[in-house]
Amino acid sequence: MAEVLQQLVNAVSLGAVYALMALGLALVYSVLGLINFAHGELMTIAAYTLVFSSAAHVPLAIGLALAIGASVVAAVLMERIVFRPVRGSGPMTLLLTSVAISIMIQTAFQMLISPLPRGADLPDFLYQAFDLGPVRLGVLPLISATTAIAGSWIVVKALRATNIGISIRASAENFTITRLLGVPAQRVVIWTFVLSGAVAGLAGVIWMAQRGSVDPLMGSTPLLKAFVATVLGGLGSVPGAILGGFALGAAEIVLQAFLPPELLPFRDAIVFALVIAVLTVRPRGLLPAKLGERV
Amino acid sequence: MSPPDVVRRVMSWANALPLILVLLVAAHGLLALLGPGENLFVTTLFINMILVLALQVFVGNTGVVSFGHGAFVAIGAYASGILTMPLATKAAALPRLPEALRGVELPLPAAIVVVVFVAILIAIPVGVPIARLSGAAASIATFAFLVISNGILVGWADFTRGTQTFYGVPPLTTLDVALAAAMVAVVVALAFRLSSFGLRLQASAEDELAAAASGIDVRQLRLVAWVLSAAIAAVGGALLGHMLTSFAPGTFYLTQTLSLLTMLILGGSRTVTGAVTGTLVVTAVFEGLRRAENGLDLGSLHFSGAYGLQQLGLGVFLLVAIWLRRDGLIGDRELILNRLWARRSMVRRADRPRTNPLHDDEGGNNE
Amino acid sequence: MLQLSGVDVRYGQIQAVHSIDLKVDAGQLVTILGANGAGKSSTLRTIAGLVRPSAGEIRLDGVQIDGLPPERIARLGLSFVPEGRGILTTLTVEENLRVAAIGARATSDFDGRRDDVFKVFPVLGERRKALAGLLSGGEQQQLALGRAMIHKARLLLLDEPSLGLAPLLRDLVFAQIVRLRDQGATVVLVEQDARRALAIADWAFVLNGGRKVLDLPASEALSSYRELEAAYMGSARH
């Protein structure tokens, strides 16, 4: 029983982080139909910012703010410089563009900083654990989970209640109609990237803390998880992305715990195979975006 | 006035002649330009072309970007390697290979046949779910497939030596072999694209609902394209393996996948001509940048190289190329013998109206 | 108030509208009639800014609007209800109105305007929290008009508002359109249901093959129905 609870906690913790990663990707896709291959790099940018600020002895709280700010700025710049000129192109062109910028950012990190990983110098207390009844809780997973859940919740709330959030949802469903109602398209797009960047920044910081280090290519794995989570949840659907993230996290934890040792190296392969199996039965994902959806 | 059927069939195979000619010219031209020492480079070029053509068969006809073909390239390389490896080397390199394979040593053509079979056997069950998904979801599923295949390659050490280098593959790929195979690939890809299979697929990529209403079974067609492209990719992979003679799972993972996709999309995924062009252009640029990385002499100016310059340069080149030609270098037209017939039967992309100022930069003038 | 001069609209190779001249005075209710493919929708979409004319000018109160992005044009007081109503189905009724308010930059006044809409269309008030996609055709039409009300639209472009609606509902919708005109809006109505449209309109334009073939008061159009038919079919020229 304690074992189950423990795994539950782990699943929630991992799932929350994946959900956060998927959320950022889903936001941009829902509005622009663009799968941002460079989303992982936004996370890396935040991670590097935090590492450098803590190396410069900047207080952690400020470092965090800087990190998230950096990824927001990067996201907005990405939109302005890279994606706006090719807007309206076919999905393949958009994809290739985001791939190009992803490669360039990774290479820039390798050239300007270092291809080698750099340790994150985070406070020790994060790596401790304490017991709560039968369950052992690590401080970092706990903080990651709560932050990730809080972050997702804030975004969902914002989408529901704020003017810009409603505009984003409206644009995601039908950009043309939304513009006909007078909503400024360009501003909506920028804010979408702002949100996406902020979420990516938070996810990047959490991811880095869990890995303990930062390197130029660290964005690839989160990107893949985010991809798979969004498709699992229903491409273009924000609640779907969150659900997909949790489902993916849960699947990984469950398999990690219950797979025989010979099969453990194949864990990720099996998880993805399961995802493909789910998609065979529900091609539009667990929580598809909408009736006339953008697929 | 439509020519008799026989003539048409012959004409349709002859359609590939212009492109074949391009390949021949490229091969001889490059060798003449770079010198016989660059044999390897030109061979690699044509193997890449085979792989890009494999991609084109699926991506160009279905409109779905596939990240998963690296799996089939790997299958081709590893399978052909295992089948053709001299017995002694095999015993040393793959000691735990199953009995049945340990004593097998096939010539290349036989190995290729087996490889194609294996690729098809794997492509079918994988393709069924992927064919059911649309657009971006399918693409991401192929990405998942790539990751799965990489995981299996790494984990199945008895067959692949896991993360360790897979060596001892006989160097059976010559420039002639690669060139010939590339030409065959061009013919096959073109034949598929211009066939009724291809046309129906392109129609459904254009407008899925309308195509379904006309009775086209999109899923089945996608599966056919997927399997065919997997087979071609596997053949290319086998040739790749026999050229490299040693490789590891990472050879067939993200870097290769993205490079091939770049070549295809930049050239224009819709056409075989685009696939060929894209391969030539990107390979040329990439190679040029590689040499520049070691320092470049431009007249009396010397640019010292830098690590990562090749990647960065490629990224810049890509972005510029995309800005200049939004939908690939080659638009919709094939360089084929019989443009007239082909154009009449080819599905024309519906002309887009000058609508939706969001697509221009109008939208930016707002706030 | 609205003036089109020599407007051409092309979709790639196809020319949908040929050199059209239209003039609508403030406060008028004008209807554009014609068979399918005559260019009626294209005309409206071009006015609304979804399509840029390849030739000619469009002026709203003397201000040139062709080439402006649709959201700019909407904020100048033009509301376009496209064919099919264009309801945002994944948002609630109230959120649909809210988007209109955001677009009209009237969010501070939202409560007041929204309540006005609910007064005119009580069913929207009852179903304010419902997903707009679940509304019936007639209710969606009311929502579309409600959004135009939030915008305090001075010029209302309606593309086939009666499409898909039962005859009784059509009468209701047309009554609402008249009400909006009476409250000061100028209305341009594209309609298949010529009789009903002419019954409420002041002026009528008939299009055929992308060209304007008739331009006359609605009452005249009603009384000379033969001529109208001929115009539809293409044998009349003015």
Mean pLDDT of all residues belonging to chain A: 86
Residue B355 has pLDDT above 50, yes or no: no
C88: chain A residues, CB-CB within 8 Å: 170, 173-174, 177-178
Most B CBs within 10 A among A279, A282, A291, hence the mutation to make, goes to A279
Using a 10 angstrom Cβ sphere, with 0-12 exposed, 13-18 middle and 19 or more buried, the burial of residue A65 is middle
User: Nearest-CA distance from C238 to chain A in Å?
Assistant: 34
The rounded distance, in Å, linking the Cα atoms of B335 and B361 is 33
Stretch A206-229: mean pLDDT:
87
Given this model, what pLDDT does residue B307 score? Answer: 62
The residue among A148 and B330 whose pLDDT is bigger is A148
Q: Which residue of A has its CA nearest to B263?
A: A96
| pLDDT, tens digit (0-9, with 9 covering 90-100), for B253-290 | 888 888 898 889 888 888 888 899 999 988 888 887 77
Cβ pair A92:B65 closer than 8 A: yes
Of A163, A181, A290, Cβ closest to residue C107: A163
ipTM attached to this prediction: 0.87
Both structure tokens of B234: 């596997």
- Does the pLDDT at position C133 exceed 90? no
Q: Residue A2: how many CB atoms within 10 A of its CB? A: 10
Cite the DSSP H helix spans in chain B.
Answer: 5-14, 17-34, 39-55, 61-62, 69-84, 87-93, 99-102, 108-132, 135-155, 157-160, 175-194, 196-206, 208-213, 218-244, 254-267, 272-293, 309-324, 339-345
Q: What predicted TM-score, i.e. pTM, was given to this entire model?
A: 0.83
Q: For chain C, list the contacting chains (3+ Cβ pairs, <8 Å).
A: A, B
Residues A220-278 have pLDDT tens digits of 888 888 988 988 888 878 889 999 999 999 999 888 888 888 888 788 888 888 888 88
Interface test with C, best of B362, B365, B367 (most C CBs within 10 A): B362
Say whether B353 and C51 touch across the interface (CB within 8 A).
Answer: yes
Least confident stretch, A77-91, A252-266, B5-19, C95-109: B5-19
| Least reliable range by pLDDT among B90-94, C52-56, C112-116, C222-226 | C222-226
**Chain C closest CA to A4's CA: distance in Å?**
38
Mean pLDDT score across all residues of chain B: 80
Distance from CA of C74 to the nearest CA of A (A): 5
Cβ distance B355 to C50 less than 8 Å, yes or no, reads yes
In B, which residues are within 8 Å of A189 by CB distance?
363
Q: What is the rounded distance in angstroms from the CA atom of residue B191 to the CA atom of residue B11?
A: 11
pLDDT over 50 at C58, yes or no:
yes
Q: Mean per-residue pLDDT for B107-129? A: 92
| Cα–Cα distance measured from residue B328 to residue B336, given in angstroms and rounded to the nearest whole number | 18
Indicate the residue type of B290.
R
Pairwise CB contact (< 8 Å): B357 & C52: yes
C chain contacts of residue B350, beta-carbon cutoff 8 Å: 12
Average pLDDT over residues B315-342: 71
Pick the closest to residue A35 from A235, A239, A248, A249 (CA basis).
A235
* Residues whose CB falls within 8 Å of the CB of residue C25, separated by 6 or more in sequence, listed in order: C1, C186
Q: What is the pLDDT of residue B236?
A: 95
Length of chain B: 367
C-alpha dihedral sign at A98, A100, A103, A108: negative
Token pair recorded at residue A292: 């006339």
Contact: A291, C95; criterion CB under 8 Å: no
Residue C191 confidence class, pLDDT cut points 50, 70, 90: confident
- Judging contacts by C-beta atoms under 8 Å, the chain A residues touching residue B126 are 276
C71–A183 C-beta distance less than 8 A: yes
Across the interface, do C90 and A173 touch by the CB < 8 Å criterion?
yes
Question: Is 70 exceeded by the pLDDT of residue A120?
Answer: yes
Q: Show residues of chain A in contact with C102, CB under 8 Å.
A: 163, 166-167, 181-183
- For residue C40, what are its two tokens? 């009626």
Confidence band for B358, pLDDT divided at 50, 70 and 90: very low
Among A123-127, B105-109, B340-344, C230-234, name the one with the lowest average pLDDT.
B340-344
DSSP per-residue letters across B71-96: HHHHHHHHHHHHHHS-HHHHHHH-TT
Q: How confident is the model at residue B360 (pLDDT cuts 50, 70, 90)?
A: very low
CB-based contacts of B343, cutoff 8 Å, min separation 6: none
Measured CA angle at B354 (ends B348, B356), to 5 deg: 115
- Tokens 């109208």 — which residue? C228
Number of alpha helices (DSSP H) and beta strands (DSSP E) in chain C:
10, 10
By C-alpha distance, the chain C residue nearest A164 is C102
| B358 in C contact zone (CB under 8 Å) | yes
The lowest-confidence range among B143-157, B312-326, C153-167 is B312-326
pLDDT at residue B157 in the model:
83
10 Å Cβ neighbour count for B167? Answer: 16
Of the pLDDT bands very low, low, confident and very high (cuts 50, 70, 90), residue B237 is very high
The predicted structure's pLDDT at residue B66 = 92
With an 8 Å Cβ cutoff, are B351 and C12 in contact?
yes
Q: Which segments within chain C are labelled E, that is strand?
A: 2-11, 14-24, 29-34, 55-60, 63-64, 78-81, 155-159, 186-190, 203-208, 211-217
Has residue A88 got a pLDDT over 70?
A: yes
**Mean per-residue pLDDT, A179-204:** 92
The answer to whether B233 and B122 have CB atoms below 8 angstroms apart is no
Average of pLDDT values for A62-79? 94
Reading phi first (left if > 0) and then psi (alpha if -120 to 50, else beta), residue B35 is in left
What mean pLDDT do residues B345-359 have?
40
Q: Average the pLDDT over B75-92 and give the result.
A: 88
| B8 — pLDDT class (breaks 50, 70, 90) | low
Tokens describing residue A246: 């949790």
Can you read off the two tokens belonging to residue B251?
């050879």
C71 touches B: beta carbon within 8 Å: yes
d(CA B75, CA B230): 10
